[in-house]
């Protein structure tokens, strides 16, 4: 499948807006979309939402023979997977040019900046070492895959715990997770990427571009930074992009301060996750299903507006239904009780927002969170008794 | 090498148990060609399978064994067994491959169990080259201008390899093409010969085939030829090993003579095929 | 970091150059008969061959054709024997594909593609010997091949690397300096306007140094630009005299 | 009806199950059982205590992905999968079918490349989809279904099928019926555990079954079995799963209800 | 059926050349005089230079008219094949650079490369070409592997011959480091590489075969065909001829067929031509070696 081509008026609208210092989703030029990081039950699973862009990373490890050129180091392998799920023009099992670009940038940001202490992954010199593999799955492509992918990869690496090993002479004993506490990776610094879309011959730059902005821009500036304001990677690319040195420097400064905030946030999320785990009854990604209705924010409406205006016409006749009132549905049989919660918190933010013309075509989402009893898997939740049939 | 993700793979470090068989590697390497000759043939000039040097193995041919194919054939040459299926002519699938003449696509495949060492499901380098040789040979025999813009596919599957697979494949493929009613100038008959310093062995088995080994500097080689008997033309010629031009001439003579002997056998098989076809058509007509 | 080894106390680099000194550049144009344009370029021990075919009709699927400009197609390939360790595949790996993409983007910016709508220009580069700065040498060689082919350009593109050792920026990094753990900044510019068309960085350094290193790289680019322009001129006068002679 | 038996054995007391059956034509559970009964003639009947007869919490979020035509993030207990549907699309020439839609299913594991196991799952899901989608309404087109494993809670196959069904519902492709898949296993003490969690699966089991039923008459669409148990247990497990499928269908109803709630409230 | 069509198609390299009827007629019916003034058994001028690639243990660049080939030989230690524990091995790899023709872009040149590669392997397999047991370091455990990497930079006809001459020259210059097996320390033998970079040994390449391509055009056959001539011919033979005039491999190329008699006569001619080519090449290589270190010209011409 080919990607739906971008119409000239869409492109011009974006460019014009940017020139006036505005963006189609209402952000300012140096503003990022809302970022949300969640972790799975397994070690080393991290899902990142950057606006509507959704990326999941999973870290796994195996014992391998180290490379002869680096006999006392473990290995890090980064693999980006893009399937049709993320966008219609991606093909499962085959990375296109875009995929390779993302893969290489993540590799350069995380692997080449040596943020993981690979020497600590060596078990026996020249014989055995851990190979850490990061699989990054792009689930939804709404622009700025690179930032989302690096954040997810870094989050997953921070979250990951490998089984402990001990040496008995030259024999390696791998301890199962329940036998001995697993060991986290040694992270030396936290590198992240921040991307700018470049417009108007490199004079205007917009942080965290959406897909629409990426496709209308001249090119892209990707900066890899850590919390110590160190540059880890940098790339300017795009068909016919020109940029002056001054612009690069000012982007770098903006990005450096952002990177500090992002690393803070990631650390907070990691700490929150650890606290949850201690409490027990941890269900990982389940809680991110039907993620808060907060996500109906200004941006998502705007992107939706640009994406499929006609498709959503009937669906959104009235504005109030944006916030679904709290309801409790009780099944007639009296056996199955379905509780339905709905988050109303979003409605406030919506009211404050300047409605985009035409307001009626704003796409909104309805979230269902239909719980049957509580979420624990320990106890049987609901019994199917004979009466059911 | 791309990883085959469609099949369960065996452990990488596995190897054939036959390598562990008791044999003195040093001894084998240093066998002189004269001794080698003694190993392959006894003092009465009789080979291990009771053949004379210039005898070929018994040949068995049959057509129409793949019901889905336009034409097919099966050949048994001693223990070398292979099947050929012919599909087409049909439209060329890739439009950029457009050519005014018809095109031949050949695939030569050894079944995983056909050789002593297990072969992979994916085509390896040797199979690719054999496919190319087969294609070049058949292109000379098939009237490609009769089906412009179309393609014919020839698939060879070797079920058991006991020497001279390419020779058998050539005969089998031409028979299959003929049974698929693809216009041809002539049948292609394949034949192979093994050269030992003072002796030529026609239609060598796996053990008799030439193997790249040290110290066989004397005249020692293997030749496979595809011959079109009626046209007196050679459409395939592959020689490996060390020989003089004069010896090659001698080898070629033996091989072409053999091909002339095989020709009527293949013709007979083809005749039976046509008769059977006519008979079944007649039955159909009667039924109507 | 092995800074002490890479830069001696006398301020000389491992191969005896000064920090702001380029490696020797040698170049010859028109070395192939069949290509429309070709060039061979040496920057120190890094040796690259480039060939240009086109502008010609789109090859393969017609869907690649652009209605308003030429489609620039590049391939970056490395000879298997070009490095110390043997490379298993000359191309098709992710790094090579990435390089190809960047070459395409750079030359799409430099070539006056709007003159050849619905056509294609092929640029193939082959690294014969790799000794650091492979990508920059490829850009420069490809540019010379384009000049040899007579493809109209908006401006020449030149590329150069820079690094930072002991807070001293180094220009035109070789393989030892690159693999010694020091950062490498690759910059491609249009020398007339000084605008950056491509830039990439591996390894880390503090953001405060960026300005300094970037300046060094841009200076390096401009110097290379001057040298290449001389070579171009020499080639053209030679062509001119040979034409007049005949 | 087409059935594939990988392996089928009958012993005196034990009915050995190690096979995968895919029905291309839907038929009644009853007749399926008859069919199996014919295959095994003498089986002593077991009366089993079936203990855990529960299904874990179901949760879903439809239209999670902005680009797909239909998408869902679905959780069943701790199992989380995401499914997306793109279609009807223009089919590739090689894949084009003149009389119906081509269904492409991609199952993506969390780590590593998809291998043989994933292809097996793809095949099962594909045949199920072929059955429930009214493919003949869109000839010469394709639909692309992608399933991403996100968290393994023990029942990935059944969760995937349920997620695909929800995603198809979300995409608005015309369907013949809905499908609900339920997994159960027989543990070492011959107890049937419905919708097992990952810990139970890892503890080991005698057999694991996944059944899928349609929404109209709760007939069997898919049956995937591994392991060896007496026939009686198999029958019981299937009946249990059939009952459990009602909950999933109820859940679907609620999900759709939520999606179009404004019209009802 | 999952046949990748590009793998089954022959090299379509020469499809681009357009020839007029008159040109074709000249090539077909011309007397013992070819378009470029040669007779049927003449080669075009050859430029050969060795030792151009500093990262390789042996290298050569050979240009035969417009056919340009660069060969690098890398020497590496590896474990021998389980079926041949006492031998080292040669691994050929041919890469058709897209510089030669855009057709070779991506994997376009792979089938041609495979064909050349396989034929080289075939012709080097016979016992008297290279003594592979010389490459054994530690029986059954370590051996030298010579990676012969061939880079085809331009195609101006007669690739087989060009490649084989370049490979032979590269092998001639290949330096294999001296290695010593140190005293058995327990059961673990230690390999000791010589400190002196000039302490190397060379292979005996006297008998390494050269390939001779003979193309059949009309009623004649000729050596060293130009692309135009290749285009006019439907068949020919490639013959590997060792230094001792022996034939080590033959294969028919092209989609045409040959009469047995003409085939035999082609083989005889090929062995004569091959012997001469071999002799001249060895002489020139020796000359270059004895001339000592001169400035490498390479591509700077």
- Tens digits of residue pLDDT in C63-82: 788 888 999 999 999 999 99
A46-60, A192-206, D25-39, E89-103: the lowest-pLDDT one: D25-39
A302-316, B260-274, E48-62, E241-255: the lowest-pLDDT one: A302-316
Query: What pLDDT does A388 receive?
Result: 36
CB–CB contact E99 C126 (8 Å)? yes
For B107, the domain range is 55-282
Query: What pLDDT does E161 receive?
Result: 94
Question: In Å, how far is E291's CA from the nearest CA of chain B?
Answer: 34
pLDDT of residue C19 exceeding 80? yes
Query: What pLDDT does B214 receive?
Result: 52
Contact E208, E148 (CB under 8 A): no
What are the two backbone dihedrals, phi and then psi, of residue A134, each rounded to the nearest 5 degrees? -110, 115
A204 Cβ neighbours under 8 A, 6+ residues apart: A18, A19, A29, A198
pLDDT of residue E70 exceeding 70? yes
Interfacial E residues in 226-285 facing C (CB < 8 Å): none
Q: How is residue E115 written in tokens?
A: 């064909």
CA D212 to chain CA mean position, Å = 4
Contact B53, B47 (CB under 8 A): yes
pLDDT of residue A341 exceeding 60? no
On average, the pLDDT of chain C sits at 90
Query: What pLDDT does A369 receive?
Result: 39
**CA-CA distances (angstroms) from residue C15 to A84, C18, C177, C180, E299?**
51, 9, 10, 13, 24
**CA-CA distances (angstroms) from residue B5 to B58, B107, D113, D116, D118?**
41, 21, 8, 7, 10
The whole-number average pLDDT for the span A354-367 is 37
Residue in this structure with the two tokens 């059939």, named with its chain if needed = D242
When pLDDT is cut at 50, 70 and 90, the band that residue A320 belongs to is very low
Query: What pLDDT does E185 receive?
Result: 59
Please report the sign of the dihedral spanned by the C-alpha atoms of residue A248, residue A21, residue A256, residue A47.
Answer: negative
Tally of CB atoms within 10 A around E20? 8
Contact C106, C139 (CB under 8 A): yes
CA B77 to chain CA mean position, Å = 10
CATH value of A8-291 in 3.40.50.1240, 3.30.450.20, 3.40.50.300, 3.30.230.70:
3.30.230.70
pTM of the model: 0.82
Residues of B in contact with E117 (CB under 8 A): 125
Residue in this structure with the two tokens 């919490």, named with its chain if needed = D57
CB–CB contact E127 B215 (8 Å)? yes
- What is the domain-level CATH number for residue E80? 3.30.230.70
Q: Is A96 helix (H, G, I), strand (E, B) or coil?
A: coil
Mutation site for D-interface testing, chosen from B5, B6, B8, B10 by largest number of D Cβ within 10 Å? B5
Query: What pLDDT does E262 receive?
Result: 92
Q: How many domains does chain B have?
A: 1
Taking the C-alpha atoms of residue B50 and residue A146, their distance in angstroms, rounded to an integer, is: 72
The whole-number average pLDDT for the span E20-25 is 87
C122 Cβ neighbours under 8 A, 6+ residues apart: C52, C53, C54, C56, C59, C73, C74, C75, E98, E102, E105
Tally of CB atoms within 10 A around A329? 13
The conformation of residue B53, written as its DSSP 8-state character, comes to T
Give the 3-state DSSP-derived string for A362-381, with helices as H, strands as E and coil as C. Answer: CCCCCCCCEECCCCCCCCCC
Does E222 contact chain C (CB < 8 Å)?
Answer: no
Q: Across A284-288, C41-45, D150-154, which has the greatest mean pLDDT?
A: C41-45
Tally of CB atoms within 10 A around A295? 18
| Closest chain C residue by Cα to residue E94 | C80
The conformation of residue E188, written as its DSSP 8-state character, comes to B
What are the two backbone dihedrals, phi and then psi, of residue D88, each rounded to the nearest 5 degrees? -70, 135
Superfamily of domain D2-264: GHMP Kinase, N-terminal domain (3.30.230.70)
Mutation site for D-interface testing, chosen from A84, A314, A343 by largest number of D Cβ within 10 Å? A84
Residues of E in contact with B240 (CB under 8 A): 122, 125-126, 248-249
D41-79 in b/e form (b: 16+ CB < 10 A) is: eebeebebebebbbbbbbbbbbbbbbbbbbbbbbbbbbb
Q: Which long-range contacts (CB under 8 A, 24 or more apart) does C21-28 make?
A: C21/C171, C21/C172, C22/C160, C22/C171, C22/C172, C22/C220, C22/C223, C22/C224, C22/C227, C23/C172, C23/C174, C25/C224, C25/C227, C25/C228, C25/C231, C26/E300, C27/C141, C27/C144, C27/C228, C27/C231, C28/E299, C28/E300, C28/E301
Query: What pLDDT does B288 receive?
Result: 65
H or E segment at D82? Answer: strand D79-90
The whole-number average pLDDT for the span A14-30 is 91
When pLDDT is cut at 50, 70 and 90, the band that residue D130 belongs to is very high
Taking the C-alpha atoms of residue E258 and residue E267, their distance in angstroms, rounded to an integer, is: 12
Q: Which of D211, D229, D227 is nearest to D219 (CA)?
A: D211
CB–CB contact A237 C105 (8 Å)? yes
CB–CB contact B5 D116 (8 Å)? yes
Residue spans of the domains in chain C: they are 3-245
Query: What pLDDT does A331 receive?
Result: 35
For E237, the domain range is 2-290
Contact B108, B153 (CB under 8 A): no
A235-249, B207-221, D29-43: the lowest-pLDDT one: D29-43
Compare CB distances from C26 to E74, E97, E300 and report the shortest one's residue.
Answer: E300
pLDDT of residue B260 exceeding 90? yes
Query: What pLDDT does B109 receive?
Result: 94
B257 Cβ neighbours under 8 A, 6+ residues apart: none
Q: Is B186 helix (H, G, I), strand (E, B) or coil?
A: coil
Contact E234, E254 (CB under 8 A): yes
What are the two backbone dihedrals, phi and then psi, of residue B142, each rounded to the nearest 5 degrees? -90, 140
pLDDT of residue B71 exceeding 90? yes
Neighboring chains of A (3 or more beta-carbon pairs < 8 A): C, D
Query: What pLDDT does D72 receive?
Result: 92
pLDDT digits (tens, 9 = 90+) for E164-220: 999 999 999 999 988 887 766 566 677 777 777 777 888 888 888 999 999 998 888
H or E segment at A358? Answer: none
Q: How far apart are the first and last CA of chain A?
A: 46
- The answer to whether the peptide bond before residue D65 is cis (omega within 30 degrees of 0) is no
CATH value of C3-245 in 3.40.50.300, 3.30.565.10, 3.40.50.720, 3.30.230.70:
3.30.230.70
Q: E strands, chain C, where?
A: 25-29, 37-43, 46-57, 71-78, 119-129, 158-165, 168-171, 184-190, 195-202, 205-206
| Closest chain B residue by Cα to residue D120 | B6
Contact A323, A344 (CB under 8 A): yes
Question: In Å, how far is C240's CA from the nearest CA of chain A?
Answer: 33
Touch criterion met for B and E (3+ Cβ pairs within 8 Å): yes
CB–CB contact E147 C86 (8 Å)? yes
Question: In Å, how far is A221's CA from the nearest CA of chain C?
Answer: 9
| Closest chain C residue by Cα to residue E227 | C34
Q: Which of E1, E6, E111, E10 is nearest to B85 (CA)?
A: E1
On average, the pLDDT of chain D sits at 80
Taking the C-alpha atoms of residue B33 and residue B216, their distance in angstroms, rounded to an integer, is: 6
Structural domain contains residue E122: yes
Taking the C-alpha atoms of residue D121 and residue D106, their distance in angstroms, rounded to an integer, is: 9
Residue in this structure with the two tokens 């698939």, named with its chain if needed = B155
Taking the C-alpha atoms of residue A99 and residue A85, their distance in angstroms, rounded to an integer, is: 14
Taking the C-alpha atoms of residue D86 and residue B140, their distance in angstroms, rounded to an integer, is: 48
Query: What pLDDT does D33 receive?
Result: 57
Residues of C in contact with A108 (CB under 8 A): 202
Residue in this structure with the two tokens 């009132």, named with its chain if needed = A325
- ipTM value, please give it: 0.83
Question: In Å, how far is E240's CA from the nearest CA of chain B?
Answer: 9
Q: How is residue E178 written in tokens?
A: 């001296």
Q: E strands, B115-261, where?
A: 150-160, 189-196, 199-202, 220-228, 233-243
Query: What pLDDT does E273 receive?
Result: 93
Tally of CB atoms within 10 A around E125? 21
For chain C, list residues whose CB is within 8 angstroms of any CB belonging to chain E. Answer: 26, 28, 31-35, 38, 40, 42, 45, 47, 49-51, 53, 59, 73, 75, 77, 79-84, 86, 90-92, 122, 124, 126, 128-130
When pLDDT is cut at 50, 70 and 90, the band that residue B22 belongs to is low
Structural domain contains residue E297: no
pLDDT of residue D43 exceeding 80? no
Residue spans of the domains in chain D: they are 2-264
When pLDDT is cut at 50, 70 and 90, the band that residue D263 belongs to is very low
* B286 vs B280, more confident: B280
Does A88 contact chain D (CB < 8 Å)?
Answer: yes
Tally of CB atoms within 10 A around A226? 22
- The answer to whether the peptide bond before residue B89 is cis (omega within 30 degrees of 0) is yes
Query: What pLDDT does B11 receive?
Result: 67
Residue in this structure with the two tokens 């680019």, named with its chain if needed = C221
pLDDT of residue A306 exceeding 90? no
Question: In Å, how far is E299's CA from the nearest CA of chain B?
Answer: 33
**Torsion, Cα of D128, D131, D136, D141 (10° steps):** 0
Tally of CB atoms within 10 A around B127? 18
- What is the domain-level CATH number for residue B150? 3.30.230.70
| Closest chain D residue by Cα to residue A132 | D111
Does D51 contact chain A (CB < 8 Å)?
Answer: no
When pLDDT is cut at 50, 70 and 90, the band that residue D12 belongs to is very low
Structural domain contains residue E300: no
């Amino acid at each position: 499948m080919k990607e739906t081509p971008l119409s000239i008026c869409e492109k011009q609208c974006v460019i014009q807006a940017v020139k006036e210092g505005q963006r189609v989703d209402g952000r300012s030029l140096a503003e990022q979309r809302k970022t949300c990081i969640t972790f799975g039950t397994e070690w080393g699973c991290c899902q990142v939402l950057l606006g509507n862009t959704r990326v999941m990373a999973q870290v796994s490890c195996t014992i391998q023979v180290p490379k002869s050129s680096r006999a006392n180091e473990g290995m890090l392998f980064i693999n980006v997977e893009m399937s049709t799920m993320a966008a219609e023009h991606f093909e499962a099992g085959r990375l296109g040019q875009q995929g390779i670009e993302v893969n290489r940038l993540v590799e350069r940001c995380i692997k080449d900046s040596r943020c993981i202490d690979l020497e600590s992954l060596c078990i026996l010199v020249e014989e055995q070492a851990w190979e850490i593999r990061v699989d990054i799955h792009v689930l939804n492509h709404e622009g700025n895959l690179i930032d989302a992918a690096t954040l997810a990869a870094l989050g997953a690496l921070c979250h990951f715990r490998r089984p402990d090993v001990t040496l008995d002479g030259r024999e390696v004993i791998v301890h199962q997770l329940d036998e001995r506490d697993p060991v986290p990776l040694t992270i030396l610094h936290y590198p992240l990427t921040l991307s700018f879309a470049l417009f108007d011959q490199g004079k205007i730059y917009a942080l965290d571009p959406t897909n629409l902005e990426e496709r209308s821009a001249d090119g892209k500036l990707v900066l890899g930074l850590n919390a110590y304001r160190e540059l880890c990677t940098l790339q300017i690319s795009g068909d016919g992009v020109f940029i002056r040195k001054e612009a690069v420097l000012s982007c770098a400064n903006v990005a450096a301060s952002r990177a500090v905030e992002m690393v803070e946030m990631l650390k907070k999320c990691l700490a929150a996750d650890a606290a949850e785990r201690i409490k027990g009854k941890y269900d990982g990604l389940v809680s991110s299903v039907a993620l808060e209705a907060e996500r109906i924010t200004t941006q998502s409406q705007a992107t939706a507006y640009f994406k499929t205006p006609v498709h959503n016409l009937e669906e959104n006749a009235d504005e109030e239904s944006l916030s679904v009132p709290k309801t409790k549905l009780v099944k007639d049989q009296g056996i199955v009780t379905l509780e339905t919660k709905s988050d109303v918190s979003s409605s406030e933010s919506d009211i404050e927002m300047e409605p985009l013309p035409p307001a009626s075509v704003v796409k909104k989402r309805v979230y269902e969170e239909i719980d049957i009893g509580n979420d624990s898997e320990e106890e049987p939740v609901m019994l199917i008794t004979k009466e059911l049939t | 090498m791309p990883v085959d993700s469609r099949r369960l793979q065996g452990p990488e470090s596995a190897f054939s148990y036959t390598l562990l068989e008791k044999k003195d590697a040093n001894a084998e390497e240093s066998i002189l060609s004269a001794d080698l000759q003694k190993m392959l043939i006894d003092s009465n000039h009789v080979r291990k399978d009771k053949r004379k040097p210039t005898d070929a193995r018994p040949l068995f041919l049959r057509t129409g064994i793949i019901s889905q194919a336009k034409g097919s054939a099966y050949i048994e040459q001693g223990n070398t067994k292979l099947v050929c299926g012919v599909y087409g002519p049909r439209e060329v699938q890739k439009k950029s491959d457009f050519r005014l003449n018809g095109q031949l696509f050949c695939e030569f495949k050894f079944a995983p169990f056909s050789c002593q060492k297990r072969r992979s499901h994916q085509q390896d380098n040797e199979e690719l080259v054999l496919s190319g040789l087969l294609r070049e040979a058949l292109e000379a025999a098939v009237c490609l201008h009769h089906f412009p813009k179309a393609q014919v596919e020839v698939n060879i599957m070797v079920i058991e390899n006991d020497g001279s697979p390419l020779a058998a494949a050539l005969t089998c493929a031409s028979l299959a093409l003929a049974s698929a009613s693809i216009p041809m100038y002539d049948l292609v008959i394949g034949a192979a010969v093994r050269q030992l310093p003072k002796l030529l062995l026609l239609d060598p088995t796996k053990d008799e085939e030439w193997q790249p080994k040290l110290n066989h500097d004397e005249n020692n080689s293997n030749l496979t030829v595809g011959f079109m008997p009626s046209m007196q033309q050679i459409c395939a010629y592959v020689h490996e090993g060390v020989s003089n031009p004069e010896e090659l001439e001698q080898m070629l003579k033996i091989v072409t003579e053999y091909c002339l002997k095989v020709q009527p056998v293949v013709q007979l098989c083809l005749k039976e095929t046509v008769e059977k076809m006519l008979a079944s058509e007649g039955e159909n007509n009667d039924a109507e | 970091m092995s800074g002490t080894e890479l830069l001696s106390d006398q301020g000389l680099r491992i191969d005896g150059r000064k920090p702001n000194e380029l490696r020797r550049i040698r170049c010859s144009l028109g070395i192939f008969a069949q290509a429309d344009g070709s060039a061979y370029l040496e920057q120190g021990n890094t040796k690259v061959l480039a060939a240009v075919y086109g502008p010609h009709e789109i090859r393969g699927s017609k869907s690649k054709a652009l209605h308003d400009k030429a489609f620039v197609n590049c391939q970056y390939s490395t000879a298997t024997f070009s490095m110390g360790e043997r490379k298993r595949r000359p191309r098709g790996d992710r790094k090579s594909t990435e390089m190809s993409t960047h070459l395409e983007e750079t030359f799409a910016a430099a070539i006056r593609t709007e003159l050849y709508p619905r056509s294609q220009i092929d640029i193939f580069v082959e690294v014969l010997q790799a000794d650091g700065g492979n990508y920059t040498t490829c850009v420069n060689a490809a540019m010379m091949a384009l000049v040899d082919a007579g493809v109209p350009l908006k401006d020449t593109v030149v590329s150069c690397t820079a690094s930072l050792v002991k807070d001293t920026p180094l220009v035109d990094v070789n393989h030892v300096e690159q693999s010694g753990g020091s950062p490498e900044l690759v910059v491609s510019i249009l020398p007339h306007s000084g605008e950056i068309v491509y830039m990439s960085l591996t390894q880390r350094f503090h953001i405060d140094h960026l300005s300094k290193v970037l300046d060094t790289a841009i200076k390096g680019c401009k110097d290379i630009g001057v040298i290449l322009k001389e070579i171009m001129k020499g080639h053209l006068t030679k062509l001119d005299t040979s034409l007049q002679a005949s | 009806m087409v059935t594939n038996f990988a392996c089928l054995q009958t012993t005196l007391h034990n009915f050995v199950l190690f096979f995968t059956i895919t029905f291309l034509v839907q038929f009644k559970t009853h007749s399926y059982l008859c069919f199996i009964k014919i295959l095994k003639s003498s089986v002593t009947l077991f009366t089993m205590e079936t203990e855990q007869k529960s299904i874990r919490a179901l949760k879903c979020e439809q239209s999670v992905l902005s680009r797909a035509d239909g998408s869902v993030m679905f959780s069943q207990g701790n199992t989380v999968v995401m499914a997306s549907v793109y279609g009807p699309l223009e089919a590739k020439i090689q894949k084009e079918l003149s009389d119906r839609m081509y269904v492409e299913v991609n199952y993506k594991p969390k780590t590593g490349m998809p291998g043989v196991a994933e292809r097996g799952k793809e095949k099962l899901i594909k045949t199920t989809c072929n059955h429930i989608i009214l493919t003949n309404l869109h000839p010469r087109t394709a639909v692309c279904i992608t399933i991403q494993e996100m968290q393994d809670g023990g029942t990935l196959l059944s969760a995937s099928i349920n997620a695909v069904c929800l995603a198809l519902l979300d995409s608005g492709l015309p369907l013949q019926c809905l499908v609900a898949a339920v997994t159960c296993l027989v543990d070492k003490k011959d107890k049937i555990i419905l919708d097992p969690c990952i810990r139970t699966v890892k503890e080991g089991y005698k057999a694991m079954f996944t059944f899928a039923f349609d929404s109209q008459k709760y007939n069997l669409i898919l049956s995937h079995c591994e392991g060896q148990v007496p026939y009686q247990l198999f029958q019981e497990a299937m009946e249990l799963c059939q009952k459990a499928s009602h909950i999933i269908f109820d859940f679907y109803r609620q999900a759709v209800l939520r999606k179009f709630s404004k019209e009802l409230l | 059926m999952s046949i990748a069509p590009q793998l089954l198609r022959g090299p379509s390299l020469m499809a681009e050349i357009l020839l007029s009827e008159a040109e074709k007629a000249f090539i077909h019916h011309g007397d013992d005089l070819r378009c470029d003034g040669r007779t049927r058994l003449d080669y075009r001028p050859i430029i050969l230079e060795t030792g151009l690639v500093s990262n390789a243990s042996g290298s050569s660049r050979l240009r035969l008219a417009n056919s340009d080939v660069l060969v690098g030989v890398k020497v590496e230690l590896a474990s021998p094949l389980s079926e041949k524990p006492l031998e080292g091995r040669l691994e050929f790899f041919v890469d058709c650079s897209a510089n030669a023709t855009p057709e070779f872009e991506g994997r376009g040149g792979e089938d041609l490369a495979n064909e050349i590669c396989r034929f080289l392997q075939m012709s080097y397999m016979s016992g008297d070409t290279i003594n592979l047991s010389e490459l054994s370091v530690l029986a059954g455990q370590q051996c030298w592997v010579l990676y012969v990497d061939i880079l085809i930079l331009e195609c101006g006809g007669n690739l087989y011959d060009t490649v084989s001459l370049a490979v032979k020259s590269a092998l001639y210059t290949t330096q294999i480091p001296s290695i010593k097996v140190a005293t058995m320390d327990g059961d673990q033998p230690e390999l000791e590489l010589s400190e002196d970079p000039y302490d190397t040994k060379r292979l005996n390449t006297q008998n390494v075969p050269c390939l001779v391509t003979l193309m059949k055009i009309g009623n004649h056959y000729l050596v060293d065909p130009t692309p135009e001539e290749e285009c006019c011919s439907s068949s020919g033979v490639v013959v590997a001829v060792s230094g001792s005039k022996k034939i080590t491999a033959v294969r028919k190329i092209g989609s045409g067929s040959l009469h047995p008699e003409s085939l035999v006569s082609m083989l005889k001619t090929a062995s004569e031509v091959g012997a001469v080519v071999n002799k001249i090449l060895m002489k020139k290589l020796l000359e270059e070696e004895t001339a000592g270190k001169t400035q490498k010209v390479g591509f700077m011409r």
